[in-house]
Chains A and B, each alone.
Chain A
Amino acid sequence: EVQLVESGGGLVQPGGSLRLSCAASGFTFSRYAMNWVRQAPGKGPEWVSEISGNGVKTYYADSVKGRFIISRDNSKNTLYLHMNSLRAEDTAIFYCAKDDGSYGFDFWGQGTLVTVSS
């Protein structure tokens, strides 16, 4: 059974940093691209970032480019999102999502809430 479990969310002040983790199990982690998707209160989902299975290729939404870094440790089956220079508009539930090989996100975690506020 595929499982994705996010952690690391919390309350952080504007300008602060946070690192999210996503522990994966139930599939061959290194074979699949992984993504972070966020959903702000009352809004639709917004794609944040993608990393290829081997970690070589990364992609970012313009809204987070230069502030967020996606990475993965295939030996630990874990996906990360390093978030810097956080803003109030980054407040959202962050989900990690597995790519099905054709840019479809077939499995999602339960999400972790990030709140940016003073």
Chain B
Amino acid sequence: QSVLTQPPSASGTPGQRVTISCSGSSSNIGSNTVNWYRHLPGTAPKLLFNSNNQRPSGVPDRFSGSKSGTSASLAISGLQSEDEADYYCAAWDDSLSGQVFGTGTKVTVL
């Protein structure tokens, strides 16, 4: 059972902005960096940006992240069909002494 909660789905039309939330607690999001991953079936998850909000090569600047207290958000602006995927947040949890992933959000482009 994940300790980071995400909405199961999100959707938008091409060009729209979609936001995905990730709710945690003081022991994980509240005190550590939140990372976001995109996952396509049959492939390994891909880090969208690192702790300095730097994007690995190939990740467009349409993706951005923010954090406030014990919650975080991923925003996808200018939604494109290739953005259809599952998105997961993750953070180190000081109480568990381990990394925790979110429940995942499936993004659909209508």
**Which residues on A are within 8 Å of B, measured CB to CB?**
35, 37, 44-47, 50, 59-62, 95, 97, 100-106, 108-111
Which residue on chain A has the smallest CB distance to residue B44? A108
Is A104 in contact with B47, judged by CB distance below 8 angstroms?
yes
Interface residues on B, range: 20 to 34
Is B45 in contact with A47, judged by CB distance below 8 angstroms?
no
**For B44, what are the chain A residues with a Cβ–Cβ distance below 8 Å?**
95, 97, 108-111
Is A44 in contact with B86, judged by CB distance below 8 angstroms?
yes
A35-B99, A44-B39, A47-B100 given; name 12 further pairs at CB < 8 Å: A45-B37, A47-B99, A47-B101, A59-B97, A95-B44, A103-B99, A105-B47, A105-B90, A106-B56, A108-B44, A108-B46, A111-B44
Nearest CB in chain B: distance from A103 CB, A: 5
**For A44, what are the chain B residues with a Cβ–Cβ distance below 8 Å?**
2, 39, 86, 88, 101-104
Which residue on chain A has the smallest CB distance to residue B52? A102
Is A45 in contact with B39, judged by CB distance below 8 angstroms?
yes
If the complex has contacts A44-B86, A44-B88, A45-B88, are A104 and B97 also in contact, measured as CB distance less than 8 A? Answer: no
**For B52, what are the chain A residues with a Cβ–Cβ distance below 8 Å?**
102
**Which residues on B are within 8 Å of A, measured CB to CB?**
2, 32-33, 35, 37, 39, 44-47, 50-52, 56, 86, 88, 90-92, 96-104
Nearest CB in chain B: distance from A27 CB, A: 14
Is A60 in contact with B98, judged by CB distance below 8 angstroms?
yes
> Which among A44, A60, A95, A109 has the greatest number of chain B C-beta atoms within 10 A?
A44
**Can you list 26 A-B contacts (CB < 8 A)?**
A44-B2, A44-B39, A44-B88, A44-B101, A44-B102, A44-B104, A45-B45, A45-B88, A45-B90, A47-B99, A60-B98, A61-B96, A61-B98, A62-B98, A95-B45, A97-B44, A100-B47, A100-B50, A100-B51, A102-B33, A102-B35, A103-B51, A103-B90, A104-B33, A104-B35, A105-B47
Is A102 in contact with B50, judged by CB distance below 8 angstroms?
yes
